[in-house]
Amino acid sequence: MAASGSLAGVLDLTTTELADELAGGVFSAGPGRLDAAAQAGLPQVVSLGALDIINFGPLDTLPEKMLGRNICLHNPAVTLVRTTPDECRELGRLIGRKLSAATGPAAVFVPLRGLSALSVKGGQFYDPDADQALIDGLRETLRASVEVNELDLDINDEAFALATAGRLHELIQEVAA
C-alpha cells in the first residue's frame, strides 16, 4: 500500500518481522521490510516493537540452534525466543540504514521501558543489555536528519501510542503544507 500512493503516512510500531528475517523466525516479511514507505517518500514514524522476539511454531519445531536460549511458550502453536544483544545491535543497525534511506520525513520512537509486554521490568524477556544494544546499533547507522524520540515508557503504554500517532499527524501536516 505504501508504494501505491494511497497512504498519507505510515505508523509502524511493531517491526518484529525484522527479527524473524535476521534470525530465521517464521514471520519474516522479507528483506524489503520498511523499504516501501522510505522509497515512496511518505512521512513515517517507526518504533522497535517486539524486536525482543523471534517467532517460531510449536516448541518441537524450534531449530536446534535456538535450544538453550530464553524461550517463551506463547501458546501451543507459537514459541518465542528472546533476541540476543548481538542480534539486537544488528537489528538496530538495519533499521538505522533503512530509515536513513528515507526520501521523506522519518522519526523513530524508542520505548525505553520495554519493547513488548515480555521485555518490561520483571518480564521473561527483560534484558536491558540487549535493549541497549538495539538502541546503540540504531544510532550507529542513523543519519542525523532522522528524528529520534526516546520515551520513558513501554511500547504498550497509551502515552506511547498517542505520542507516535501525534507525531505522524504532524509530519503529514508538514508535508501537506
Question: Which structural domains are found in the chain, ordered by start?
Answer: 10-52+84-176 (3.40.50.12030)
What is the rounded distance in angstroms from the CA atom of residue 37 to the CA atom of residue 9? 8
Model confidence pLDDT, tens digit, residues 15-31: 999 999 999 999 999 99
Separation CA 117–CA 161 (nearest Å): 14
Asked whether the predicted pLDDT for residue 32 surpasses 90, the reply is yes
In the DSSP assignment, the letter for residue 8 is S
166 SS3 class: helix
- Give residue 134's pLDDT: 98
Q: What is the mean pLDDT of the chain?
A: 96
Q: Is the pLDDT of residue 3 over 80?
A: no
What's the pLDDT tens digit per position in 140-156? 999 999 999 999 999 99
